[in-house]
Chain A
């Protein structure tokens, strides 16, 4: 009997371990990116639609931040943060720098959470980019595989057109129908573009298989409420520094602070809200200690190399590239762009150290004083500047018991936490616009401050990173939401002298599918309608159709 009780207790203990230690199996996410085209000329935009799927059966929503980068075999050229909106769908664009060399490039997309798994689960897609001024196209001569004209229209859903051939600037109506009524699709993407030999090959898109859940330890949490800035604190001997209190602030007119502690492996993380986007972030340890480094993670760094597949160059591809290059050249000279980017609404919550209640002193209201020590002695009542331990600190009188604190006050310079007064000690009155004093014992979570002094310089300080052990991290902003605008000749004369040289006639990322309409451009040739959607089982289904623009 006693043994049975023991056995039951032991089994319960084992089952509880996962819950207690938080090491339940991680359920992977999946990112799928659709691009408007597969071949581009440098100077154009790559239009992207990103979808993030959670493979969790629970109602837990997946990440809403996606990392997308453009790279070749050697370097990364563009990297963007992309925020998904409703239905976990995000649209954005990557501008291709004019100076990019001709060659095969790769678009890689993943979420922060996917970094818990193998890079094999990321989204990869190979695209062709041609430099506008590259006449020889020598980078395309290598051939690993052949470009066969094996494009076969698929019939995941039916695409109906009123006719097969259209004139210039003529309206095209397209209807879509699923093969059966029981089948439903969502997350549609429609691209109508000039057909090229590269696309027809149909080999450029690579959608990785979903990762398998496993007993992995969660190292990179899903980013739903903000972006995690992660990193490591290491000593001069490259050993991890555990238990170090780190402060993060951004230059601003208000004192702001977040803190965290490094874990047993020296790893740290800050959860950043929209306030931090596009700002320079300063990370410092609570106490000055130059014997270690704070190293933030490079989230865009990949281990898996890009090995492009070269398809050689056929006469058709060379002809297409030549035409496209000329078109982009003309579009550039006319300043034509059909891409509109709008800023995402930001939810800015400033992590104030305090908000109101401070005594404000403006040195400009008093007689000019030579340095901060004089300012403290003459116009900052209840403060004392003291040189000790190789630094200059400010002590305040506690407003409650009217005695000096035994420890120095915490200092903020232009909103950023500072170890001491080194940077402003020689500042005369004219160099300081405002000083805020909070002569009280302040608390912020685990931390205690023996008074707060916030100093705003007249000309914003530019050298926050001077202290040893300080880490400066430039936080990028989210890329804006992108829409493709095609001209509407119902409102614009078809005789408009402005050339319409669009090779991309239509691009839309939408959750549901309706009939679409668009206008053809002034470019004759064969066009492809590509529709991509997600079926009931979560699989990507594609459908293609073609039509001609003859101008006749």
Chain B
């Protein structure tokens, strides 16, 4: 038993040595210094629902110089279009966007990929990628305040999610609603084909997943 303990300690010691930046710092890429930002005041106590997801999620960030960083605690403020990093050393940091190309939030089996894009309709900001093929579907995750109240002299705000969808077909950007009639209006020449495509599939456009599925299913029709 004592031998086992000695060997365990030896193993742990070797592992700990490897983790230190001193020994082989020359081979480390300075990836961590891509995280640039400023101290962030968390508003979630008084601004309910201001973030895309209330809790910090494990995530990954890709930077414009080709570097990437994994296993970061991230949260997206969908009202201000801000990416927040929960640092063990600094606390909550509002990250500068200039060197971030995209980031991903992992919520269990679901991954939300956001890209920094400049679409004519959406301006410059982070857009969630729903689909990227011959057509592209992005969502601007927006939260908008819809009510406020005062309790114990503190003013509280409530936000609701108000996503805006952008469909890119053959380089042209369409701002679309989760509404089949809106699709007919945008593509009047393809109304019949779109109607035939979704017929019998029992899709409910009030459910976002059904809406995305329907749009992806129309890829061929829209690009013909």
Interface members, chain B 9-29 (any A CB < 8 Å): 10-11, 14-15, 17-18, 21-27, 29
B89 CB–A CB distance under 8 Å: yes
- B39 and A441 contact, CB distance less than 8 A: yes
Chain A contacts of B207 at CB under 8 A?
none
B64 CB–A CB distance under 8 Å: yes
A102 CB–B CB distance under 8 Å: no
Chain B contacts of A16 at CB under 8 A?
11, 14
Given A440-B39, A444-B36, the answer on whether A271 and B98 have CB atoms closer than 8 Å is no
A side interface size, CB within 8 A: 52
Chain B contacts of A353 at CB under 8 A?
36
Q: Pick the contact of B26 from A6, A242, A267, A445 — CB < 8 Å? A: A267
* Secondary structure class of chain B's binding surface, majority of residues: mixed
A300 CB–B CB distance under 8 Å: no
| Contact pattern, A 230-253, Cβ under 8 Å of B = 1, otherwise 0 | 100000000000110000000000
- A6 and B39 contact, CB distance less than 8 A: no
- B90 and A443 contact, CB distance less than 8 A: yes
- B27 and A442 contact, CB distance less than 8 A: no
What's the nearest-Cβ distance from chain B to residue A276, in Å?
A: 12
Chain B contacts of A225 at CB under 8 A?
29, 66
Given A20-B15, A355-B96, A442-B37, the answer on whether A261 and B21 have CB atoms closer than 8 Å is yes
Chain A contacts of B147 at CB under 8 A?
none
- A230 and B11 contact, CB distance less than 8 A: no
B35 CB–A CB distance under 8 Å: yes
Q: Which residue of A lies closest to B25 (CB)?
A: A263
Interface residues on B, range: 35 or more
Chain A contacts of B36 at CB under 8 A?
352-354, 442-445
Q: Pick the contact of B93 from A268, A355, A443 — CB < 8 Å? A: A443
- A354 and B96 contact, CB distance less than 8 A: yes
A9 to B11, CA, bound (A): 10
A415 to B22, CA, bound (A): 29
- B26 and A220 contact, CB distance less than 8 A: yes
- A13 and B11 contact, CB distance less than 8 A: yes
Interface members, chain B 78-110 (any A CB < 8 Å): 87, 89-90, 93, 96, 98-99
- A442 and B26 contact, CB distance less than 8 A: no
B152 CB–A CB distance under 8 Å: no
Q: Which residue of A lies closest to B19 (CB)?
A: A20
A219 CB–B CB distance under 8 Å: yes
- B39 and A400 contact, CB distance less than 8 A: yes
Can you report 22 A-B residue pairs in the complex whose CB atoms are below 8 A from each other? Answer: A6-B7, A13-B11, A20-B18, A22-B18, A217-B24, A221-B26, A258-B30, A260-B30, A262-B25, A263-B23, A263-B25, A269-B25, A271-B30, A273-B65, A352-B98, A441-B38, A442-B36, A442-B37, A442-B38, A443-B37, A444-B33, A446-B89
Give A contacts to B, CB under 8 Å: 5-6, 9-10, 13, 16-17, 20-22, 217-221, 225, 228, 230, 242-243, 258-264, 267-271, 273, 349, 351-357, 400, 438, 440-448
